[in-house]
Structure 1
Amino acid sequence: MHQGALAYQKTAQQTASPRNLEAALLARFASQLQQIRDTWPERMDELDGVLNKNRKVWSIFVSAVTKDDHPLPAPVRQNVANLGIFVMGQTYELMAAPRPEKLDALININRQISAGLRGANS
């Protein structure tokens, strides 16, 4: 059964739209950050790894929306870039001085953007 689930997941990833993949990644990292927050400090050793993965995704978003040929309207691109800059700042703050309540902003941003990306596909 486990192999069947992995095969389904791989097929779903290959056929999912880029927006759905982005939404799924953001939701996954929000969930992982929430789990770390909920079990603080026991799972604190996982924090840097999840933060780095989340930061990489946001770096890709910022890089994409700052290209002149990106199809989103300029104000939306600017908002995404600003959110990305905020996420980077929060990430570095958390790495320097970890505190569970500092995770709330990243969790909420990821959830909101994930929901928005999914809503845009409807």
Structure 2
Amino acid sequence: MKAPNGYTSRPSGDDPRSTEAWALGEASRRLALAAKMSDGGEALREALRLNQRLWSIFQAALSEPDCPLPKDVRDNVLTLSLMIDRHVMARLGDLDGSKIQPILDINRAIAEGLAGKSVQPAATAGAATAAPVPPKPAAGGAPVMRVSA
């Protein structure tokens, strides 16, 4: 069943990592759907902006002095966020939905890491290299990025 406003069911648990993984998956789902639409790029523009807002939240959380992640993990995810910035800005410039795969690959890799799944190799030739995955926390682990709805 689809929730209002086109959102898929959001995780109901109190696990912030699940919420973060869901948010990345939802952003990717919207990007993939928007890339196939023939509406002059409006849906793609909206999906790209949503993805950019999500990553901006991650950037802010990772930059906080009390971020619980090890510095090397923070630095790696911040580097990925800069790649996302570049790809999103390029796609906002040309609205070419056929070139969103690097964004989808990074979103997927981070979402899988947050969900504790292993990252599978990229499905398309020439796709971005699999992103480093944050270490899996012990049960009830701390949120990677404090994203609030």
* Same fold (TM > 0.5): yes
How high is the TM-score relative to the length of structure 2? 0.67
Superposed displacement of residue 103, structure 1: 0.3
Is structure 2 residue 34 aligned with structure 1 residue 25? Answer: no
Is structure 2 residue 50 aligned with structure 1 residue 53? Answer: yes
How high is the TM-score relative to the length of structure 1? 0.81
* Higher RCO (Cα < 8 Å, 6 or more apart): 1
Is structure 2 residue 59 aligned with structure 1 residue 75? Answer: no
- Percentage of pairs with the same residue: 27
CA contact (8 A) 2:45 2:95 kept: no
Superposed displacement of residue 108, structure 1: 0.7
Unaligned runs of 5+ in 1: none
Superposed displacement of residue 113, structure 1: 0.6
Judge which range, 99-108 or 21-30, deviates more.
99-108
Return the match for 1:88 from 85, 90, 94.
Answer: 85
Structure 2 CA distance for aligned equivalents of residues 54 and 118 of structure 1: 19
Higher helix share: 1
Is structure 2 residue 103 aligned with structure 1 residue 106? Answer: yes
Number of residues paired by the alignment? 113
Corresponding residue number in structure 2 for 1:116 = 113
Superposed displacement of residue 64, structure 1: 0.9
CA contact (8 A) 2:44 2:97 kept: no
Corresponding residue number in structure 1 for 2:128 = none
Unaligned runs of 5+ in 2: 4-8, 117-135, 140-149
Q: Which stretches of structure 1, 4 residues or longer, exceed 6 Å deviation after superposition? A: none
Tell me the C-alpha RMSD between the 2 structures.
2.1
Cα distance per residue 1:3-45 (max 9 Å; x no partner): xx75xx57x43x33111011001011111212233x25x1532
